[in-house]
C-alpha cells in the first residue's frame, strides 16, 4: 500500500468521523434549539395575547386581528374555539411555512420532539366565552435549522476537498523527490559514484540529499583506494614472481648445470671423484639454503609447525640480530596459537609489515609488540608502538602498507586504528572479534 493511499485513506476516515460527530452534535443542538424556541414562543405568546386582548369589552374582530398580526406567533399554531365547537385558525404564519422549502422527513423525525400545548379563555364583548388553543408549529424553525445544517456540512465538505487537494499537491512533489532519490540510489548500486543529487527546497529532503552525496564521496574515495591497492598488490605480486623467477634462474639453473657438469666429469676414469663429490655436496647445501629462504618468504613453515607465538619470536630475533641498535619487546598470549588459521596468517602479515615499515621509515630505537586474547569478550587485541619519527597521518593516507594492513584487519571483521604525530612515534591498534565455536 503506497504512502499516498494510506494518508488519503486516513484523511477520508477522519473526515467521515468528523462529519458523523458534527452531524450528531448539529442534530442534538437543533433539537434543543427548536424545543427551546417553541417553548419560549408559547410563553411569550401567552403574555402578548393577554396584553393584546386587553379588557373583556374589546370586540371579537379587534383582538382576532391583533392576534393574527403578532410576529411572535410564527412558531405557533393559534386557533379559536367557539362555544359551538367551531374552530377558527388565527395564525397567518402556518400558511407561510407551508410555502417554504421544508426539510426532508428523516431530518424532521430526528429533530422533532414533544412540545407543550396551552389554552387561554377569553370573554368577548357580548359575554361569550371563547377558548384559544395554542400548539407548537416548529416547522419554520426546523427549516431554518435545516438550512444552517446544509451550510455547515457544505463548509466541512469544502474543507475536506481543500485538504485532499493540498495533500495531493504536497504528495506529488514529495513522491517526485523520493523517486529522484531512489533513482539516484539505483545509480549508486551500479557503482557510479560521480553523480550528485541537487539541493532541495524541503529541509528534510535536502538533508537526505547531502547525506547521500557524502556517501557518494566516501564510496568514490574507497573505490579509488581499493583500485589503487589492488593495482599495487598486482604489481607486488608481479615483482615477486619476477624475483622468484630470477632467483630460480640464477641459483637453481646455475647450480643444476654445475651439478650436471660434475656428474659427467665424474664419469671419466682420471677424474677426482672425491673433490667432485665434495663440490656437489656444497652446491646442494647452497640450494637447500636458497629453498628455505624462499619458502620462509612465501610462507614460514614455523608458523604452521610451531604456531604464531614461536613465529613472532623468531621474527623479532631475526631483526634484533640484523639491527643491534634497535630493541624489540614482544608479549604474546599462549592462547593465540589456538586461533583460526586465517586469523593467524593475517595477524602475522600485519605484524611483519609493521616491523618492515618501522625499520624502513621510522628510525626507531625501540619497538613494542603485544598480542592479547580476551576470553571474556572473545576479542584479540594487537598493539604495536615505536619511538620513531612519527608522521602526519593526513599526508600518508595513500600509503599502501598501512592500507594493506587495514584491509587485512577489516577482512577479519575487526577495527584498525593508527595514532601518530611528527616526532612522537606511531601506535597501531587492532581489535578482532573471534568467531564463536
Average pLDDT taken over every residue of the chain = 79
pLDDT of residue 51: 65
Is pLDDT of 178 > 80?
yes
Q: In the predicted model, what is the mean pLDDT of residues 426-436?
A: 87
| Cα distance between residue 226 and residue 296, in whole Å | 28
**Tens-digit pLDDT profile for residues 391-427:** 877 766 545 678 788 888 988 889 999 998 888 889 9
Buried b (16+ CB within 10 A) or exposed e, 214-224: eebeeeeeeee
81 contacts 59 by C-beta, under 8 angstroms = no
In this structure, of 35-39, 234-238, 307-311, 341-345, the range with the lowest mean pLDDT score is 234-238
pLDDT of residue 99: 46
**Tens-digit pLDDT profile for residues 297-316:** 776 777 878 889 998 998 89
What is the set of domains in the chain, with CATH numbers?
Answer: 3-165 (no CATH), 301-437 (3.30.565.10)
- At 146, the pLDDT band (50, 70, 90 cuts) reads confident
Taking the mean position of all CA atoms in its chain, how far away is CA 215? 15
Cell of 197: 543529487
| Cα distance between residue 106 and residue 423, in whole Å | 94
| Distance spanning both ends of the chain, measured CA to CA | 44
pLDDT of residue 98: 46
Would you say the pTM of this structure is higher than 0.85?
no
Is pLDDT of 31 > 50?
yes
Q: In the predicted model, what is the mean pLDDT of residues 204-214?
A: 87
- At 260, the pLDDT band (50, 70, 90 cuts) reads confident
Give the percent of the chain with pLDDT over 70: 80
Q: In the predicted model, what is the mean pLDDT of residues 327-356?
A: 90
Is pLDDT of 372 > 80?
yes
Q: In the predicted model, what is the mean pLDDT of residues 26-50?
A: 75
| Cα distance between residue 164 and residue 16, in whole Å | 13
Strands annotated E in 21-151:
76-81, 87-89, 118-123, 129-136
| Cα distance between residue 273 and residue 266, in whole Å | 6
314 contacts 302 by C-beta, under 8 angstroms = yes
**Tens-digit pLDDT profile for residues 240-256:** 777 777 777 777 777 88
- At 224, the pLDDT band (50, 70, 90 cuts) reads confident
- At 101, the pLDDT band (50, 70, 90 cuts) reads low
- Enumerate residues 6+ apart whose C-beta is below 8 A from 35: 113, 115, 138
pLDDT of residue 6: 78
Is pLDDT of 277 > 80?
yes
Is pLDDT of 95 > 50?
no
User: Positive or negative, the Cα torsion across 189, 190, 194, 200?
Assistant: negative
Taking the mean position of all CA atoms in its chain, how far away is CA 164? 27
Is pLDDT of 436 > 70?
no
- At 385, the pLDDT band (50, 70, 90 cuts) reads very high
**Tens-digit pLDDT profile for residues 116-143:** 677 767 766 666 677 777 776 777 777 8
Is pLDDT of 48 > 70?
no
Is pLDDT of 68 > 80?
no
User: Going edge to edge, which strands form the sheet with 379-386?
Assistant: 327-332, 366-374, 379-386, 426-433, 415-420
Cell of 349: 602479515
pLDDT of residue 368: 94
pLDDT of residue 26: 79
60 contacts 90 by C-beta, under 8 angstroms = no
pLDDT of residue 170: 80
Is pLDDT of 96 > 60?
no
Is pLDDT of 228 > 90?
no
pLDDT of residue 70: 55
Q: In the predicted model, what is the mean pLDDT of residues 197-220?
A: 86
Amino acid at each position: 500500500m503506497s504512502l499516498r493511499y494510506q494518508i488519503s485513506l486516513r484523511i477520508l476516515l477522519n473526515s467521515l468521523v468528523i462529519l458523523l460527530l458534527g452531524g450528531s452534535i448539529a442534530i442534538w443542538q437543533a433539537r434543543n434549539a427548536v424545543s427551546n424556541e417553541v417553548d419560549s414562543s408559547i410563553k411569550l405568546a401567552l403574555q402578548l395575547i393577554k396584553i393584546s386582548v386587553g379588557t373583556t369589552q374589546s370586540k371579537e374582530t379587534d383582538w382576532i386581528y391583533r392576534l393574527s398580526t403578532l410576529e411572535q406567533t410564527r412558531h405557533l399554531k393559534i386557533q379559536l374555539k367557539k362555544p359551538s365547537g367551531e374552530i377558527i385558525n388565527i395564525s397567518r404564519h402556518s400558511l407561510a411555512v407551508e410555502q417554504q422549502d421544508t426539510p426532508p422527513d428523516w431530518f424532521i423525525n430526528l429533530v422533532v420532539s414533544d412540545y407543550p400545548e396551552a389554552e387561554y379563555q377569553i370573554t368577548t364583548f357580548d359575554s361569550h366565552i371563547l377558548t384559544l388553543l395554542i400548539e407548537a408549529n416548529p416547522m419554520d424553525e426546523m427549516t431554518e435549522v435545516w438550512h444552517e445544517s446544509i451550510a455547515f456540512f457544505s463548509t466541512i465538505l469544502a474543507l475536506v476537498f481543500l485538504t485532499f487537494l493540498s495533500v495531493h499537491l504536497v504528495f506529488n512533489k514529495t513522491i517526485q523527490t523520493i523517486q529522484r532519490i531512489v533513482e539516484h540510489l539505483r545509480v549508486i548500486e551500479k557503482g557510479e559514484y560521480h553523480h550528485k543529487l541537487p539541493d532541495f527546497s524541503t529541509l528534510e529532503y535536502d538533508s537526505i540529499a547531502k547525506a547521500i552525496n557524502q556517501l557518494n564521496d566516501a564510496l568514490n574515495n574507497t573505490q579509488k583506494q581499493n583500485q589503487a591497492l589492488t593495482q599495487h598488490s598486482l604489481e607486488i605480486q608481479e615483482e615477486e614472481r619476477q624475483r622468484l623467477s630470477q632467483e630460480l634462474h640464477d641459483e637453481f639453473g646455475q647450480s643444476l648445470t654445475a651439478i650436471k657438469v660434475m656428474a659427467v666429469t665424474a664419469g671419466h676414469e682420471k677424474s677426482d671423484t672425491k673433490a667432485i663429490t665434495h663440490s656437489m655436496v656444497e652446491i646442494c647445501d647452497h640450494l637447500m639454503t636458497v629453498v628455505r629462504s624462499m619458502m620462509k618468504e612465501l610462507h614460514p613453515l614455523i608458523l604452521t609447525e610451531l604456531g604464531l607465538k614461536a613465529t613472532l619470536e623468531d621474527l623479532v630475533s631475526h631483526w634484533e640480530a640484523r639491527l643491534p641498535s634497535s630493541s624489540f619487546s614482544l608479549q604474546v598470549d599462549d592462547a593465540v596459537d589456538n586461533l583460526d588459521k586465517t586469523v593467524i596468517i593475517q595477524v602475522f602479515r600485519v605484524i611483519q609489515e609493521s616491523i618492515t615499515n618501522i625499520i624502513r621509515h621510522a628510525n626507531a630505537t625501540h619497538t613494542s609488540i603485544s598480542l592479547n586474547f580476551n576470553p571474556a569478550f572473545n576479542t584479540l587485541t594487537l598493539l604495536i608502538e615505536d619511538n620513531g619519527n612519527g608522521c602526519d597521518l593526513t599526508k600518508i593516507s595513500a600509503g599502501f602498507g598501512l592500507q594493506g594492513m587495514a584491509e587485512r584487519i577489516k577482512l577479519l571483521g575487526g577495527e584498525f586504528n593508527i595514532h601518530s604525530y611528527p616526532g612522537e612515534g606511531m601506535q597501531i591498534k587492532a581489535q578482532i572479534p573471534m568467531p564463536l565455536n
